[in-house]
């Protein structure tokens, strides 16, 4: 596989430059290898021409001939198309369908830039760590409406999406996953998982995810696909309530990845009880076996608002601080009064369910005696999962790295500014439906979601409004590609100035 891919890459690189169309400097990423059993493969190529009217079709006809000759393989162009290059739009998108005499076909993605230096191109291809097995170019997941327009706030497109809402529903069933995962390579390719870390920065900053799933395998799988990178770790807690077929589907999906696994114990998670915490803590314990920098917990009904690269940049800008929500309103004593004295003279605080904590915090949670005493005490309180992390992170005398050292006596000192989760309360007015007092993101929220500073949104429900989900997935995917191609800037100044970052405990006592 590899050699043929490299052959095509090299062909792209070396020979475009040596043709008489030397004004095209070529950058050729090998972005996809796709083994299929028929005999054509498609390449989409973007050419930028600054000097003369581009004739991409001719160029590629020439090059295919050249390739055939060089590799002693018979390539044949069965279909070729491109847009016109004009004064204004100097990019040409060329689509080629090849026929090859061999049995195995591959799908390539190539991208051409005018300005890219040759050395860098070359390095991309020679470097064994570089992308090998996925397709990465901006694309539209959603064909029936324009997500880009919706995100720009087009009322017309929003109305159109409401009209079409039920016309373009196609959900992958649990049995699809069970069948498709019989061949994991096929599954990973078909579902277009990103199997490369994408950057050194991301590779060196692995994340640990705990994901609580209790229904909708399809939505879970799309969440996983959006956040999946080979360097991260994913602990999946499949709720005892899950149906057998859903459970099997999840089981087979995760069996296709080395870094995705089930939690060692499964609970029947009931919101507001200790079981929520138990599920997360089991995953945290399981995850501590691996090397990573930050822990993030999610439910199957959340979705990223940032790309992996952006999440890494945000967490790095925290400089070790833990993002643990704390309620600005401080009188919640009724929740724990009945539980008796708080162990080790801790001051309890109430937060909400979302955290992004560093590894030292996770180790403290799982291993420290004070933490274990707090955990036991919490079993007698109401909604313990909202108290546990918040209490640990706001008692700086414990010396937990990254915990909050600022003033907590007056609520004015607690600024809202945690960025783990975007969540809109029903009381503030929903554009769509609500569930348990929280708004379910709707199509009208997309414009806002695209700009929110938070890393994830709670709640996004595919069944409820699939375009919102589909468009967000498309947006995050496109941004991943932009980030990868270094076409996107991401400024973390505001993150590094967040109140909990500025007031974080930097060194363990």
Ligand X SMILES: *[C@@H]1O[C@H](CO)[C@@H](O)[C@H](O)[C@H]1NC(C)=O
Which positions are annotated as active-site residues?
A: 386
69 binds ligand X (CB under 6 A): yes
140 lies in the binding site for ligand X (CB under 6 A): yes
Smallest distance, ligand X to C-beta of residue 119, A = 25
Q: Which stretch binds ligand X (CB under 6 A): 115-123, 161-169, 253-261, 297-305?
A: 297-305
- Of 472, 419, 420, nearest in space to 441 by CA: 472
Binding segment toward ligand X, per CB under 6 A, in 114-122, 160-168, 169-177, 382-390: 382-390
If binding is defined by CB under 6 A, does position 277 make contact with ligand X?
yes
Note whether 151 binds ligand X by CB under 6 A.
yes
Q: How far is the CB of 204 from ligand X (least distance, A)?
A: 25
Query: Nearest 10 degrees: CA dihedral of 4, 8, 13, 17?
Result: 140
User: Residues 214 to 273: which contact ligand X by CB under 6 A?
Assistant: none
Binders of ligand X among residues 76 to 105 (CB under 6 A) are 103
Per CB under 6 A, 473 contacts ligand X: no
Closest to ligand X by CB, 9 vs 362, is 362
From residue 506, give the alpha-carbon distance in Å to each of 399, 493, 503.
9, 19, 9
Identified binder of ligand X from the candidate list 87, 329, 369, 489, rule CB under 6 A: 369
Residue 18: partners with Cβ closer than 8 Å, 6 or more residues away: none
Assess 388 for contact with ligand X (CB under 6 A).
Answer: yes
475 touches ligand X (CB under 6 A):
yes
Under the criterion CB under 6 A, does residue 311 sit at the interface with ligand X? no
Which tokens hold the place of 483? 């980030």
The reply on whether position 460 binds ligand X by CB under 6 A is no
Q: Which of 336, 334, 309, 333 is nearest to 455 (CA)?
A: 309
With contacts defined by CB under 6 A, name the span among 26-34, 121-129, 138-146, 490-498 that binds ligand X.
Answer: 138-146
**Residue 299 touches ligand X, criterion: CB under 6 A:** yes
Q: Under rule CB under 6 A, how many of the chain's residues touch ligand X?
A: 31
Q: Which of 47, 194, 208, 212 touches ligand X by CB under 6 A?
A: 212
Nearest to 117 by CA among 12, 13, 11, 20: 13
370 binds ligand X per the rule CB under 6 A: yes
Q: Is 59 in the site for ligand X (CB under 6 A)?
A: no
Is 190 an interacting residue with respect to ligand X (CB under 6 A)? no
User: What would the 3-class secondary structure string for 236-249 be?
Assistant: EEECCCCCHHHHHH
**Distance separating alpha carbons of residues 64 and 94, to the nearest angstrom:** 13
- CB-nearest residue to ligand X: 385
The piece of 83-91, 238-246, 372-380, 474-482 that touches ligand X (CB under 6 A) is: 474-482
Is 300:212 a contact under the CB 8 Å cutoff? yes
What is the chain's length?
509
Using the rule CB under 6 A, is 4 a contact of ligand X?
no
For 5-73, the three-class secondary structure string (H helix, E strand, C coil) is HHHHHHHHHHHHHHCCCCCCCCCCCCCCCCCECCCEEEEEEEEECCCCCCCHHHHHHHHHHHHHHHHCC
Report the nearest approach of ligand X to the CB of residue 301 (Å): 9
CB 371, CB 392: distance < 8 Å: yes
Among 106, 385, 445, 465, binds ligand X (CB under 6 A): 385
CB 340 within 8 A of CB 379: no
Contact status: 445 vs ligand X (CB under 6 A): no
Q: In this chain, which stretch among 137-145, 156-164, 223-231, 328-336 interacts with ligand X, using CB under 6 A?
A: 137-145
Quick check: helix, strand or coil at residue 99? strand
Residues 6+ apart with CB under 8 A from 94: 43, 44, 45, 46, 47, 56, 57, 60, 80, 81, 82
Determine, following the binding rule CB under 6 A, whether residue 399 of this chain makes contact with ligand X. yes
If one asks whether residue 368 binds ligand X (CB under 6 A), the answer comes out as: yes
Cβ 48 vs Cβ 90: under 8 Å = yes
d(C-alpha 412, C-alpha 106), whole Å: 60
Using CB under 6 A as the binding rule, whether residue 449 contacts ligand X is answered as: no
Among positions 188, 208, 276, 457, the unique one binding ligand X when judged by CB under 6 A: 276
For residue 442, the SS3 value is: coil
In whole angstroms, what is the distance from residue 249 CA to residue 244 CA? 9
Q: Which stretch binds ligand X (CB under 6 A): 23-31, 45-53, 310-318, 386-394?
A: 386-394
Q: Is 298 in the site for ligand X (CB under 6 A)?
A: yes
**339: which residues sit within 8 A by CB, 6+ positions away?**
377, 378, 380, 381
478 binds ligand X (CB under 6 A): yes
Is residue 280 a contact residue for ligand X (CB under 6 A)?
yes
Q: By CB under 6 A, name the one of 45, 64, 121, 355 that touches ligand X.
A: 355
Please tell me whether residue 509 adopts helix, strand or coil conformation.
coil
Choose the binding region for ligand X from 128-136, 307-315, 381-389, 423-431 (rule: CB under 6 A): 381-389
Helix axes 369-378, 274-287, angle to 10 degrees: 150
Residues in contact with ligand X by CB under 6 A are: 69, 103, 138-140, 147-148, 151, 212, 276-277, 280, 297-299, 353-355, 368-370, 385-386, 388-389, 398-399, 471, 474-475, 478
């Amino acid at each position: 596989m590899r050699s043929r891919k490299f052959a095509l890459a090299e062909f792209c690189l070396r020979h475009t430059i040596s043709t008489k169309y030397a004004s095209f400097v070529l950058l050729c990423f090998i972005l996809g290898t796709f083994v299929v059993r028929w005999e054509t493969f498609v390449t989409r190529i973007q050419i930028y021409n600054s000097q003369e009217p581009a004739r991409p079709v001719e160029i590629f006809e020439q090059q295919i001939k050249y390739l055939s000759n060089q590799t002693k393989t018979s390539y044949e162009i069965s279909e070729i198309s491109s847009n016109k290059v004009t004064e204004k739009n100097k990019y040409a998108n060329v689509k080629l369908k090849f026929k090859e005499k061999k049995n195995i076909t591959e799908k390539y993605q190539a991208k051409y830039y005018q300005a890219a230096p040759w050395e860098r191109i070359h390095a991309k291809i020679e470097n064994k760590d570089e992308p090998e097995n996925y397709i990465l170019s901006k694309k539209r997941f959603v064909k029936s409406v324009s997500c880009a327009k919706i995100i720009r706030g087009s009322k017309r497109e929003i109305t159109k999406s409401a009209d079409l809402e039920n016309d373009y529903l196609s959900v992958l069933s649990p049995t699809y996953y069970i069948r498709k995962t019989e061949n994991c390579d096929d599954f990973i390719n078909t579902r277009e998982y990103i199997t490369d870390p994408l950057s050194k920065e991301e590779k060196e900053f692995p994340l640990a995810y705990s994901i609580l799933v209790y229904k909708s395998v399809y939505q879970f799988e799309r969440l996983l696909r959006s956040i999946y990178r080979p360097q991260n770790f994913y602990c999946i807690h499949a709720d005892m309530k899950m149906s057998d077929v859903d459970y099997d589907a999840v089981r087979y999906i995760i069996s296709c990845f080395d870094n995705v696994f089930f939690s060692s114990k499964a609970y029947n998670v009931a919101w507001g009880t200790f079981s929520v915490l138990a599920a997360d803590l089991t995953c945290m314990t399981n995850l501590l076996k691996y090397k990573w920098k930050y822990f993030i917990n999610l439910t199957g009904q959340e979705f990223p608002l940032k790309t992996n690269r952006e999440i890494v940049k945000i967490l790095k800008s925290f400089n070790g601080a833990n993002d643990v929500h704390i309620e600005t309103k401080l009188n919640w004593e009724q929740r724990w009064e009945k539980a008796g004295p708080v162990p080790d003279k801790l001051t309890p605080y109430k937060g909400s369910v979302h955290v992004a904590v560093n590894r030292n915090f996770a180790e403290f949670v799982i291993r420290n005696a004070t933490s274990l005493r707090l955990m036991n005490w919490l079993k007698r309180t109401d909604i313990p999962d909202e108290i546990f992390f918040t209490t640990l992170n706001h008692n700086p005398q414990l010396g937990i790295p990254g915990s909050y050292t600022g003033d907590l006596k007056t609520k004015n000192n607690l600024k809202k500014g945690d960025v783990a989760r975007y969540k809109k309360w029903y009381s503030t007015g929903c554009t769509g439906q609500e569930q348990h007092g929280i708004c379910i993101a709707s199509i009208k929220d997309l414009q806002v979601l695209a700009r929110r500073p938070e890393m994830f949104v709670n709640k996004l429900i595919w069944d409820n409004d699939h375009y919102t989900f589909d468009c967000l997935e498309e947006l995050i995917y496109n941004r991943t590609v932009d980030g990868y191609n270094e076409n996107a800037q991401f400024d973390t100044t505001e993150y590094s100035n967040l109140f909990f970052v500025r007031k974080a405990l930097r060194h363990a006592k």
